[in-house]
Amino acid sequence: MATPVLHTQGVTKAFGDHVALSPLDVEVMEGRIVGLLGPNGAGKTTLLRMVTGITKPDNGELKMWGEPHHRKLLSRMGYLPEERGLYKSMRVAEQVLYFATLRGMNRMEAERDLKGWFERLEVEGWWNREVADLSKGMAQKIQFIATVLHRPELLILDEPFSGLDPINAALVRGEMLRLVQEEGTTLVLSTHDMGSVEALCDEVILLHQGRKVLAGPTDTVREDARRGRIRVVMRGNLMAFVAELGARAELLSKSTSQVKSNEGQSVHQLEIALPDGWPMPDFLSWAVNHVEVLEAVPLKLSMEEVFVQSVESAGS
Amino acid sequence: MSQRSFHIWLTVLQREYVTRVRRRAFLVATLLGPVLWVGLIAGMVLLTQSTESPAKVWVVDHDGLLTIPTDGEQFLPSCPSCYPDRSLLDYRFGRETKDVKELQREGFTCMVELDEGILQSEKAQLLHLEPPTGKTKRWMQRDLSQALERLKVREQSNLNYEDYLALKTNVVLLGIDITTGEQKGAGQGGLGFIFSLFMLTFVLVYGMHVMRGVIEEKSNRIVEVVLSTVRPGQLLAGKIAGIGLVGLTQIAAWALLSWALMLGVGMAIEQSSWMESWTATQGLASGTADFQTVLAAEEDLAFLLDINWGVMLGCGAMYFVLGYAMYAAFFATIGAMVEQEADAQYLMLPVMMPLLFSYVLASMTIDAPESTLAIISSFVPFSSPVSMMVRLPMGVPWWHVALSMTLLAGTAAFFVGLAARVYRVAILMYGKRPTFREIIRWTLRPDSGAL
């Protein structure tokens, strides 16, 4: 069995009376893109600060690449925090090289690689520019380069697309995928942008009030969260069908097509939540006795819906 | 410290150093500094020349040039109007010298010895228990010059204007410490004060550089990126060392430039026509005098040749390093506790108080650098970098300097350690200023909280 890049077991952290993390078990495997999700104050930044060595857990075990965490492992990581800045008194390239040197990279090698990154992210003319002259989006790209220049095996990005226009966001997203696919980098992505999570993440971990409330492959999570929800397109007497459905299942929504069929009957689209113990095939066998079923598909929740649903149910 | 830790510390130090020394403001200040300081020194000399101190003077008139005896073996000035009534200057006259104990018992602060030789040389020794200020000394010189002029005029008949000009007298008093035999005067005190002002400025300016650097890293949130690679203690140590090195660079540059400036001025004077005429008036053979000879002959400047500049600069640099390290630790702590510079203003006051107090003390003890208050404050670590600078030009026992530096080094190390404990927690605290209780708790907890 492969060794996880990041593994926590029973990790806790409190600041005074405030419990930031309750006993937490998470695992991130090599080469995966993992979304770390949760509302504000869920404990995401606390977890990331532990992984990046800024703080230590109060209790529990934190292992990186199978070893108990220690400072030498930090140079194998790249961390882009949500709140980030640059030294205004330094030039752009000089600043990125400073961080690469701090992370143990040879200066000449760093300069060579940096030129490549400047080309890929289309900032060639900015080598000797003052940081104070950078726009917010440009600064974001420089910060991204500073995070990845030393070729980290684990890349931790907190809201990496904030401040980027769609074109530059796509450019950065492309580079992130290239790092994962070509260099085997493991990526932990902390974000509130659920579109990015759906597009990029193989797996998600959802935290709420310092606890893990959801974890697993993104598709599975979305599938599991649908809780028997299906979409049915049917033709027939809607009122009679709904009356028959009665308390058997919950009707979530209904809509009627404006275009009537050849027989003069309307086409209706229903979203129904099937209860446990009434699987979709059984429901369809029952439904065809009452209406003509044109189409029936399981509903797949968006990550945003999964997020809201999970947080609400964890809260209740 | 491991090789990796050392590399990180050095990288931080290098960044702090390089980004500051290449700033235009630093280059301008470094180049213009010596010029400004020379101007300031001139200003301070004028200031010390204009302050007055109480003096009770025993004038020993061996040959009866200025006094007449009375019945009661007392001597009165033959020209009472030559000694205007001044509240802080009191003359007594006699024919015999007094020893130190007699002078002390009778409340004299100094003694002037005159004999017939003064009519030619116009120089006399001013033996003092406490050196008079420049202004007081100038009064004494003027009073004695007037009295001698009166004597010369009295011995002349049919005086024309040219003869009168020839009788003009300018007495120069050579100040000598009666207990040690060393020449000391207001010059050394003034120079010490300049050095103390210099030290105060450097410690404050570079300490505040540290504070601003910490606030910049905290407010623009870059600190979290840095701390994911660098320990808080390493970051703080690199920052303090890097900025301190900038200060030392400026001190070294100023010393070199000042030396070059003095050398240039000296050479210009030596080659000027003024030098020829000065040599002639001193009765020296042409071409035998140089700039040092001029300095040695000018009583107000001669002390510059007696100063051990190596010790002054060496001790000054050491006091700067240690004093700066201690105050930089305080300023770094303040910087870590706030999110913008405006919030730091009221926290800075208690930190600056000891420095400002020692500056006030330095200005008070400029004429009495060996007073008990001055000596004590030169041992107290919070004030010693400034206070010792006033004493150093006078010559200080080596063990005073050693003890003062040891106390300062120990205190600086202690506070840098405490500051690092507060810094590592406070630097990541946003939206809330730490309470006094929290700060105490952090200083007591040896575990850094970081990996």
pLDDT value at position A181? 94
Q: What is the mean pLDDT of chain B?
A: 83
Q: What is the mean pLDDT of residues B217-237?
A: 88
Is B380 a residue whose pLDDT tops 70?
yes
| Chain A residues with a Cβ under 8 Å from any Cβ in chain B | 49, 52-56, 69-72, 74-75, 77, 79-81, 83-90, 98-99, 101-104, 143, 146-147
Chain B residues whose CB is inside 8 A of the A85 CB are: 220-222
Summarised one tens digit per residue, pLDDT across range B135-172 is: 787 788 888 888 888 888 877 767 777 777 777 777 87
Q: Which of B1, B8, B225, B432 to mutate to test the interface with A (most CBs of A within 10 A)?
A: B225
Could B7 and A104 be called an inter-chain contact, meaning their C-beta atoms sit closer than 8 Å? Answer: yes
Chain B residues whose CB is inside 8 A of the A83 CB are: 221, 224
Rounded to the nearest angstrom, the minimum Cα separation between B226 and chain A is: 8
Chain A residues whose CB is inside 8 A of the B8 CB are: 102
pLDDT value at position B14? 95
pLDDT category of residue B451 using cuts at 50, 70 and 90: low
Report the chain B residue with the minimal C-alpha distance to residue A146.
B225
pLDDT value at position A111? 94
pLDDT category of residue A33 using cuts at 50, 70 and 90: very high
Beta bridge partners of A253: A271
Is B335 a residue whose pLDDT tops 60?
yes
pLDDT value at position A23? 92
Q: What is the mean pLDDT of residues A199-222?
A: 91
Q: What is the mean pLDDT of residues B127-139?
A: 78
Is B11 a residue whose pLDDT tops 90?
yes
Could B229 and A75 be called an inter-chain contact, meaning their C-beta atoms sit closer than 8 Å? Answer: yes
pLDDT value at position A265? 72
Lowest mean pLDDT among A150-154, B83-87, B324-328: B83-87
Chain A with chain B: Cβ pairs closer than 8 A: 76
Q: What is the mean pLDDT of residues B77-103?
A: 87
The pTM of this model reads: 0.75
pLDDT value at position B330? 93
Report the chain A residue with the minimal C-alpha distance to residue B12.
A102
Report the chain A residue with the minimal C-alpha distance to residue B218.
A85
Is A316 a residue whose pLDDT tops 80?
no
Rounded to the nearest angstrom, the minimum Cα separation between B323 and chain A is: 27
Lowest mean pLDDT among A140-149, A169-178, A289-298, B238-247: A289-298
Contact status of B8 with chain A (Cβ, < 8 Å)? yes
CB atoms within 10 A of CB B52: 18
Return the domain boundaries, chain A: 6-223, 227-299
pLDDT value at position B340? 86
3-state secondary structure string, chain B? CCHHHHHHHHHHHHHHHHHHHCCHHHHHHHHHHHHHHHHHHHHHHHHHHHCCCCEEEEEEECCCCCEEECCCCCEEECCHHHCCCECCEEEEEECCCCCHHHHHHCCCCEEEEECCCHHHHCEEEEEECCCCCHHHHHHHHHHHHHHHHHHHHHCCCCCCHHHHHHHCCCCEEEEEECCCCCCCCHHHHHHHHHHHHHHHHHHHHHHHHHHHHHHHHHHCCCHHHHHCCCCHHHHHHHHHHHHHHHHHHHHHHHHHHHHHHHHHHHHHHHCCHHHHHHHHHCCCCCCCCCHHHHHHHCHHHHHHHHCCHHHHHHHHHHHHHHHHHHHHHHHHHHHHHCCCHHHHHHHHHHHHHHHHHHHHHHHHCCCCCCCHHHHHHCCCCCCHHHHHHHHHHHCCCHHHHHHHHHHHHHHHHHHHHHHHHHHHHHCCCCCCCCCHHHHHHHHHCCCCCCC
Is B223 a residue whose pLDDT tops 80?
yes
Chain A residues whose CB is inside 8 A of the B19 CB are: 87, 89-90
pLDDT value at position B298? 63
Rounded to the nearest angstrom, the minimum Cα separation between A182 and chain B is: 25
Sign for the CA dihedral angle at B284, B287, B288, B292 comes to positive
Rounded to the nearest angstrom, the minimum Cα separation between B231 and chain A is: 8
Spell B355-388 as b/e; 16+ CB within 10 A means b.
bebbbebbeebbbebbeeebbebbbbbbbbbbbb
> Which tops the pLDDT comparison, B158 or B185?
B158
Amino acid found at A90: M
Contact status of B174 with chain A (Cβ, < 8 Å)? no
Beta bridge partners of A211: A208
pLDDT category of residue A267 using cuts at 50, 70 and 90: confident
Q: What is the mean pLDDT of residues A75-87?
A: 88
Is B267 a residue whose pLDDT tops 60?
yes
The full set of domains in chain B, from first to last, is 3-47+187-444 (no CATH), 54-129+132-183 (3.40.190)
Percent of chain A with pLDDT over 90: 51
Report the chain A residue with the minimal C-alpha distance to residue B216.
A87
Could B224 and A72 be called an inter-chain contact, meaning their C-beta atoms sit closer than 8 Å? Answer: no
Choose from A145-154, B66-75, B442-451 the range with maximum mean pLDDT.
Answer: A145-154
pLDDT category of residue B284 using cuts at 50, 70 and 90: low
B9 to A102, A127, A252, B229, B242: CA distances (angstroms): 9, 25, 62, 11, 10
Lowest mean pLDDT among A51-65, B37-51, B272-286: B37-51
Report the chain A residue with the minimal C-alpha distance to residue B424.
A54
Report the chain B residue with the minimal C-alpha distance to residue A74.
B229
**C-alpha–C-alpha distance, residues B388 and B318, integer Å:** 12
Amino acid found at B68: I
Sign for the CA dihedral angle at B233, B238, B239, B240 comes to positive
Which of B8, B23, B451 lies closest to A56 in CB terms? B451
Choose from A151-160, B114-123, B269-278, B388-397 the range with maximum mean pLDDT.
Answer: A151-160
Complex-level ipTM: 0.79
pLDDT value at position B402? 94
Chain B residues whose CB is inside 8 A of the A103 CB are: 229
Sequence-distant (≥ 6) Cβ neighbours of residue B12 within 8 angstroms: A102, B230, B234, B235, B237, B238, B239, B242
Is A269 a residue whose pLDDT tops 60?
yes
pLDDT category of residue B432 using cuts at 50, 70 and 90: confident
Percent of chain B with pLDDT over 70: 88
Q: What is the mean pLDDT of chain A?
A: 89
**C-alpha–C-alpha distance, residues B227 and A52, integer Å:** 8
Percent of chain A with pLDDT over 70: 97
Could A88 and B230 be called an inter-chain contact, meaning their C-beta atoms sit closer than 8 Å? Answer: no
Is B278 a residue whose pLDDT tops 90?
no
Chain A residues whose CB is inside 8 A of the B224 CB are: 49, 54, 79, 81, 83-84
Rounded to the nearest angstrom, the minimum Cα separation between B198 and chain A is: 27
pLDDT value at position B184? 53
Contact status of B449 with chain A (Cβ, < 8 Å)? yes
Chain A residues whose CB is inside 8 A of the B7 CB are: 104
Q: What is the mean pLDDT of residues A213-226?
A: 86
Q: Does domain A227-299 have CATH number 3.30.70?
A: yes
Is B134 a residue whose pLDDT tops 80?
no
Kindly give the pairing relationship between strand A154-158 and strand A77-80: parallel
Percent of chain B with pLDDT over 90: 25
Could A89 and B23 be called an inter-chain contact, meaning their C-beta atoms sit closer than 8 Å? Answer: yes
pLDDT value at position B237? 92
Could A87 and B428 be called an inter-chain contact, meaning their C-beta atoms sit closer than 8 Å? Answer: no
Contact status of B252 with chain A (Cβ, < 8 Å)? no
**What CATH class does A6-223 carry?**
alpha beta
Q: What is the mean pLDDT of residues B334-362?
A: 86
Choose from A176-190, B169-183, B392-406 the range with maximum mean pLDDT.
Answer: A176-190
Q: What is the mean pLDDT of residues B363-386?
A: 82
Contact status of B432 with chain A (Cβ, < 8 Å)? no
pLDDT value at position A259? 55
pLDDT value at position B253? 92
